[in-house]
Amino acid sequence: ALLSLESMQSIPTYIAQDPVFDKIDNTVNGQGIVAIVSKPTYSMESISIEDGVYITLDGVQDPGNLGTILRTAVAAGVKGIFLMKGTVDPYNDKTVRST
């Protein structure tokens, strides 16, 4: 989700020296920017179902493919995506980059 410029002004930013940056950015040709955030956790009980399209993914192994599916689903207005056991971690670095 895009943030407004006003809300972005309250986000702390830091400049890291190259050796520190290299430890947290494991890409070969990165963009020189990194975000460190907490992972949200969800339970089935916390989800409220609205009218709309939902996708269930089962056994998607390739992180790049999952990222592409997630990106496309958001663009198509999908309300939610359920990942079954055996599906790659949505927080895998390749998944996040391709999303």
Asked if the model's pLDDT at residue 76 lies above 60, the reply is yes
Integer Cα distance of 25 and 31 in angstroms: 10
Provide mean pLDDT across the span 77-86.
93
Expressed as residue numbers, the domain containing 46 is: 5-98
Q: For the full predicted model, state whether its pTM sits above 0.85.
A: no
Average pLDDT, the chain: 86
Q: Note the pLDDT tens digit of each residue in 36-64.
A: 778 888 787 888 888 999 999 999 999 99
Q: Residue 14: its pLDDT value, please?
A: 83
Asked if the model's pLDDT at residue 2 lies above 70, the reply is no
Alpha helices in the chain (DSSP H): 5-8, 18-24, 63-75, 93-98
Total of domains in the chain = 1
Percent of the chain past pLDDT 70, that is, above it, reads: 97
Integer Cα distance of 54 and 51 in angstroms: 9
